[in-house]
Chains A and B, each alone.
Chain A
Amino acid sequence: MKDVITKEIQFNHSIDKVWNAITKAEEISIWFIQADFKAEAGYQYTFTANPNEKGCTIISGEVKQSSPYTLVYTWVVGDTNVETTVKWKLESTSSGTKLYLEHSGISKYAGDTAVAMFDSFNGGWDNCISGLTSYLKDLVNAG
């Protein structure tokens, strides 16, 4: 078993179009999460999930590397203080762009806590990460 998740996906779009989609705050905010983001090494970014809902979780981190076409940033959920790393890499292909995604360091999360937390989810992130926030808050208050 690894503590890394890797994804590979092919898009029929130019590499610059995909690069913009993953590096420009206004684009990230549309398809991913409301973002305060700059693709510059050292930038402290913030992703705010479903800001309309009260108490939703913030994902934050630091941009470690941004050079076309590799983007690396740390990924910290809420106030967990657990730092994982997300890496995006693009490659031009004859039919468009190949995207590689790598999310590493997952073993750094606390064991049972994380498991219980994710048990409360059914499906994707779309349900908003607010459940996670309240869960974490409960844990902090309880602990």
Chain B
Amino acid sequence: MQDKITKLFKAIADPTRRDIFHALVIASSALSITQISNQFDISRQGVTKHIKTLEDASLITINSKGRERFCYANPKQLKEVNKWLKFYEQFWDDSLQNLGDYLDNNS
């Protein structure tokens, strides 16, 4: 599990990979590696490497059709991490609010 989340954060740490993932989410359909290469002006080899990292993190799924490979976004993963961050956001907001009240009441 921990390994999984580490892969996820590694995958989204790179701006190019975020862009590729974003493009796939927006396309809301499969894009071939050729299409992605054209869109991002990076080599096919470069794209292949990035999508492999995204696939390792379960952010995308790759299907082969003939000689071409198609990538689909799987944004569920990101949503899960988001929920997690949201929890602590709320926790610290509440705690700092309490701190403020405490300071005000002890003037």
Contacts and interface: CB of A to CB of B under 8 A. Distances in A.
Interface in A96-116: 99, 101, 103, 106-115
Chain B interface bracket (under 10, 10 to 19, 20 to 34, 35 or more)? 35 or more
Given A101-B96, A109-B5, A1 B80 contact: no
Contacts of A21: 99, 102-103
Given A5-B88, A101-B92, A124-B94, A110 B103 contact: no
A99 B86 CA distance: 20
A115 B88 contact: no
Contacts of B84: 106, 109, 114-115, 118
A3 interface: yes
Given A106-B85, A111-B4, A118-B84, A3 B100 contact: no
Given A1-B78, A106-B88, A31 B5 contact: no
B80 A115 contact: yes
Interface residues of A, number: 36
Interface in B73-107: 78, 80-96, 98-104, 106-107
B26 interface: no
Contacts of A7: 92-93, 96
Interface stretch (A9-17, A34-42, A50-58, A60-68): A9-17
Contacts of B12: 1
Interface of B: 1-2, 4-6, 8-9, 12, 78, 80-96, 98-104, 106-107
9 contacts: A7-B93, A17-B106, A31-B95, A32-B95, A106-B88, A107-B9, A111-B1, A118-B84, A123-B90
